[in-house]
Amino acid sequence: MNRFLIPLGAFVLLVVVLAVGIRHSADKGTIRSPLIGKPAPVFNLATLSEPKRTISNTELRGKWYVVNIWGTWCFACREEHAYLLEMKRSGVMPIIGLNWKDEDEKAREWLTQLGDPYDFVAMDYDGSVAIDWGAYGAPETFLVNPEGIVVKKRVGVMTPEVWNDFVSHLHAPKSNPS
């Protein structure tokens, strides 16, 4: 009797461990950003509309805003674009484009062709700002609160579900993640 009890117990334990692991791995493909709950990295970059002017996200203090990391080399960004335009049309909050390692000319062409969902586009030519934001695969979209804290991060294309989740934070009584 005892001979079978121990292997059986070990087996049950293994099943439990694996079941918990599978249950928790729904978002296993995306790595939780260490930026959540921390101040949004500050950037000072040239804008696409006026390359001589630099713009910083500190100017958005006091407002909810969205940062969308994109590039014309990014296939999924094209897929996502129509929905970004819809987000823009809703007028809920400003959408900042952080253009990752691109050329002005290509970026402009993209926006004239597909429409411009961005309040402004900051050009990260050498990719160092994208690293500050912990970007590893465009498109990536962040929600930043009026205190300048990163509240949410989406890796991959924006969907109505993700956007609704973003918007729900604006109406929450206290949406500051501790």
The residues of the shown chain that bind another protein, judged by CB under 8 A, are 31-35, 101, 126-128, 130-137
Is the CB of 29 or the CB of 91 nearer to another protein? 29
Is the CB of 11 or the CB of 136 nearer to another protein? 136
Minimum separation from the CB atom of position 173 to another protein (A): 29
Minimum separation from the CB atom of position 42 to another protein (A): 14
Is the CB of 32 or the CB of 52 nearer to another protein? 32
Minimum separation from the CB atom of position 92 to another protein (A): 28
Q: Over the chain, what HEC string results?
A: CHHHHHHHHHHHHHHHHHHHHHHHCCCCCCCCCCCCCCECCCCEEEECCCCCCEEEHHHHCCCCEEEEEECCCCHHHHHHHHHHHHHHHHCCCCEEEEEECCCHHHHHHHHHHHCCCCCEEEEECCCHHHHHCCCCCCCEEEEECCCCEEEEEEECCCCHHHHHHHHHHHHCCCCCCC
Minimum separation from the CB atom of position 89 to another protein (A): 32
Is the CB of 35 or the CB of 93 nearer to another protein? 35
